[in-house]
Structure 1
Amino acid sequence: MASESRFPDVDSNGSEKNEDIEIIVNVGGVRQVLYGENLNRYPATRLAQLINCLSGGYDTIFSLCDDYDPGKREFYFDRDPDAFRCIIDIYYFGEIHMKKGICPICFKNEMEFWKVDLKFLDDCCKTHLSEKKEELEEIARRVQLILDDLGMDASENRWKRCQKYIWKLMEKPESSYSARVIAVLSFLFILISSVVMCLGTIPELQILDSEGNHVEHPTLDNIETACIGWFTLEYVLRLISSPNKLFFVISFMNIIDVFAILPFYVSLILTHLGARMMELTNVQQAVQALRIMRIARIFKLARHSTGLQTLTYALKRSLKELGLLLMYLAVGIFVFSALGYTMEQSHPETLFKSIPQSFWWAIITMTTVGYGDIYPKTTLGKLNAATSFLCGVIAIALPIHPIINNFVRYYNKQRVLETAAKHELELMELYSGEGKVGGSKNELEDLMGEGKEHPSWSRQLKVSHSDTFIHLLSDEKHYRTRLQSCK
């Protein structure tokens, strides 16, 4: 009777005010007494709707909760109690903070279930949510790429299938044995071309042409031509088979490929046709300058090296730290070069002729290189030099730790994403083998959005309801229960 007195029935005239109503909710075994005065601050939420659901009958009640005890007048929810403790803070403080250890995606699911807008989530917690969503999108992208590599769509024409086959052959070494062989060959050609470029500068391996100038040995020149032929064929095949040719052309690594190939053909044109339009000396100088550009092909190694790609990304993420390093060095170079110039003016044999000339001395001193071509001769100048290289060591050492952290974080993240993508594929195969039904619509059609092409064989797979693909594989709302802990 006591519990019934706390939950009076609301008549059609609204004689009982919602603010005076108390409700009991049981979330994952944790009971909580909530008051209408607090819940009505956000009437669109699920908890606020519970206040008026008693007058709507059992259909209305069970549309809002998992179970209901009319004797105790208690609402039951099979949800995460830890997340619920965070979510009810909105009724008291007007904002929500996510506890440490709760998966951001799972917490977002809980907020959607309780019909609480994400705008009430504090900014510090939204950062974790956005990072997690980016990770899940990356996992979904990797899974889709793997699925695309495993089969062909029979509905596509022969050219489309051939195009996809060539693209996998040239761009995805892990897709087949032939692709791995081509990747190894490409790597060897890059090494051979780089070695030939270095050997061609050794005077003992050069020969004299008809004009008496030293040129590369014909054998080395032939090897270079063969390497350029391979690079050209590789680039053309990748361009033809590329699914997005505009993105392919403006990609940084592909621009490097063009710069590695183009000097050979330009120098070839200048050698045969340039002599008619300009002096032979100018042609030879232009050819020599273009041949130096061959060093760009060493950057092609980044295409086959995960370590170089990780280092590039770490440096890109560390632009702020690198900018601070350059600023510290620039200030130090200006200050110590000016001091060095001033202190060395009293010496008759000073090597500091001007402040701009002293910049070189400050650079090699602060970076602890110390060529010794310019050095101080006075006592004050030597003290200034000692101070400058000590400050240089400190300035260089300061941003090293953040850069290393960025490198390790990105490297570990890539390994985790790769493992997660393989785990998702294993789960999809498991569900397919057991005949379990997974996602909605056509299994994989919601993986990366509607309207995209997918392999026909993949229609036989069933989407797993693992943590990763709850939102990425289906438009339906699959909510986790409190028994499904986030791993």
Structure 2
Amino acid sequence: MWTVPKPKYRTGLCAEGEIAVNIGGVRVVLFGEVLNRYPESRLAELLNCSTQNHEVISSLCDDFDPCRKEFYFDRDPEAFKCIIDVYYFGEIHIKPGICPICFIKEMEFWKIDQNVLDECCKSCLSEKEEELTEIANKVKVILEDLEVDECITRTQRCQRFLWRLMEKPGSSLPARIIAIASFLSVLVSAVVMCVGTIPELQVTDAEGKLVEHPVLEGIETACMLWFTAEYFLRLASSPNKLHFALSFMNVIDFMAIMPFYVVLSLTYLGTTSMMELTNVQQAVQALRIMRIARVFKLARHSSGLQTLTYALKKSLKELGLLLMYMGVGIFVFSALAYTMEQSHPETLFRSIPHSFWWAIITMTTVGYGDIYPKTTLGKCNAAVSFLCGVIAIALPIHPIINNFVVFYNKQKVLETAAKHEVELMELKSGKDARRESTSSLSK
């Protein structure tokens, strides 16, 4: 519906100081004094230009009826209803059902500045622009996978083939096999790392210390050799090696490989005497613990884990609120518990910092049981603390889950849109090729 005051719909001639426009079959008469509020807009230029200057008129509108003094525009009348609001109210709201990107093109056509958009519409527009950028990036990736350039050198062709083989599991059957082998290697390596700590499966070395079983150590070495070869092949085939090396997931890959070779060099490459030093032994143990970083390599092969990571990034505000709630609750209830339990001779709460552990496991409903209240007031405080903990944890859970679902569905829609865009491009290129061949045959 038009807002008040609304433009005039009539079939007669417009009066002095008015302008008649026909927007896609909808005739509207507008007041000149209203249009002059934005003198640089297209409608204001039409109002102020001479009806005898046909060249200027033809550049500003699609057609002109000199008898009725009516300007015709082959534009969307629904979008024009939003455009006309700027002359009356100084701002524009995009109606539901109108594409924000298409509406921006309408604003550019009518020469209306984007600053008059309402803030809510600007946020919607920025979101749509981000989606289009993501679709364009996905289309670019798909086209790069399908691209076959005959002019590149043999070295570049081999590099591209190797990059697709290591980074694009869907490009061919060998690439899919390599991706599955890499995934299984991560799982096997993680299982071997866990099983190797079982005392019954360990063996005694010459110094009487328990070490990993040689079979497990051999499997671990084979997995690390595979990870090393995979990393360097991907690095060698990468189009941008600096970006590859600084990428978060590739840094994790490097951190998962590096400890193995550091420990190997300290153990077997002439530094055995140094291994007796306590600091060196602790460093080696820390490097061995860093092997757990290879578990994060699974994220490279799992779109679900990647979606979870992005969803958590989008939910940083909710996670911050959760930590704030829990932090305040832990401080308050640990201080109350310490104060209330001091009257008991066998109290387990020796200090407020020592009580933080009790507050954490109570508010998270874990209930480890190593520290517990013994007084009546302390037990009441514990009951209130875990009830507050349940509420504090439950409040931000729904927004986090909702962000995950929204992001996951959005990625699916964007991937589908990118594939449809590529199909349309292929269809259009096929039509152009057939048109060219038909024209050449006719000649």
Q: Secondary structure at the match of 2:306?
A: helix
Q: 2:274–2:280: 8 Å Cα contact kept in structure 1?
A: no
The 8 Å contact of residues 68 and 74 in structure 1, kept in 2 or not, is answered as yes
Residue deviations 1:414-467, cap 9 Å, x none? 0000000111111112112222899xxxxxxxxxxxxxxxxxxxxx9xxxxxxx
Q: Tell me whether 1:223 sits opposite 2:219 in the alignment.
A: yes
Deviations 1:57-113 (A, max 9, x none): 333222211222222221111111111111111111111111122110010011011
Counterpart CA distance in 2 for 1:431 and 1:65 is 30
Scaled by the length of structure 2, the TM-score of the pair is 0.92
How has the CA–CA distance of structure 1 residues 437 and 321 changed in structure 2, closer, same or farther, with 3 Å as cutoff? farther
Cα offset, 1:245, TM superposition:
1.5
Matched, 1:106 2:102: yes
Letter paired with 1:289: A
**Aligned equivalent of 1:361, options 348, 358, 361:** 358
> Is the Cα contact below 8 Å between 1:24 and 1:33 reproduced in 2?
yes
Which of 155, 158, 166 is the matching residue for 1:159? 155
Q: Post-superposition shift, 1:3? A: 5.3
1:122-176, CA deviations, whole angstroms, 9 ceiling, x for partnerless residues?
2211111111111111111111111111123222222222212111111111122
What is the match of residue 291 of structure 2? 294
Aligned-pair CA distance for 1:56: 4.1
1:86 equivalent in structure 2: 82
2:202·2:213 contact (CA, 8 Å) conserved in 1?
Answer: yes
Structure 1 residue matching 2:130: 3-state secondary structure = helix
Give identity over the alignment, percent. Answer: 72
> Which AA in structure 2 matches 1:71?
C
2:329 is equivalent to residue 338 of structure 1 = no
User: What stretches of structure 2 of length at least 5 have no aligned partner?
Assistant: 1-10, 438-443
Corresponding residue number in structure 2 for 1:177: 173
Residue 310 of structure 2: which of 292, 310, 313 is its match? 313
Structure 1 Cα separation of the partners of residues 388 and 72 of structure 2: 65
2:257, 2:13 → 1: CA distance?
A: 85
Q: CA deviation at 1:54?
A: 3.9
1:393-432 equivalences in 2 (<5 Å): 393-432=390-429
Per mean C-alpha deviation after superposition, the further-off stretch among 64-73 and 248-257 is: 64-73
Question: 1 or 2, which has the higher helix percentage?
Answer: 2
Equivalent residues of 1:275, 1:283 under 8 A apart:
no
After alignment, is 199-208 or 104-113 more displaced? 199-208
Conserved 8 A contact 1:152-1:161: no
Once the two structures are TM-superposed, the CA of residue 289 in structure 1 deviates from its matched residue by 2.5
Distance 1:419 1:131, change over 3 A: same
The counterpart of 2:142, out of the listed 123, 141, 146, is 146
Q: CA deviation at 1:4?
A: 5.7
> In 2, distance between residues paired with 1:52 and 1:349?
93
2:116 to 106, 114, 120: 120
| Pairwise CA distance, 1:53 | 3.7
Corresponding position of 2:325: 328
Instruction: Provide the C-alpha distance between the structure 2 equivalents of 1:437 and 1:318, rounded to a whole number of angstroms.
Output: 50
Contact 2:51 2:66 in 1 (8 A): no
Task: With a CA cutoff of 8 Å and minimum separation of 6, indicate the structure with the bigger relative contact order.
Answer: 1
Q: In structure 1, how many angstroms separate the alpha carbons of the residues matched to 2:364 and 2:406?
A: 28
Q: How many residues align?
A: 425
Q: Tell whether the 8 Å contact from 1:104 to 1:129 is kept in structure 2 after alignment.
A: yes
Which residue matches 1:12? none
Structure 1's consecutive aligned runs of 4 or more residues displaced over 6 angstroms after TM superposition are: none
* Paired residue type of 2:294: R
| TM norm structure 1 | 0.84
Q: Which residue among 132, 135, 154 is the counterpart of 1:136?
A: 132
Is the 8 Å Cα contact of residues 24 and 76 (structure 2) preserved in structure 1? yes
Name the CA distance, whole Å, in 2 between partners of 1:114 and 1:319: 40
- Give the Å deviation of 1:283: 4.3
Q: Deviations over 1:16-69 (max 9, x none)?
A: xxxx52111111222211121111121211111111344343332222112222
Flag the 1:4–1:363 CA change in 2: closer, same or farther, 3 A: closer
Matched, 1:376 2:373: yes
Secondary structure of the corresponding residue to residue 29 of structure 2: strand
Inter-partner Cα distance in structure 2 for 1:382 and 1:85:
66
1:237 lines up with 2:242 in the alignment:
no
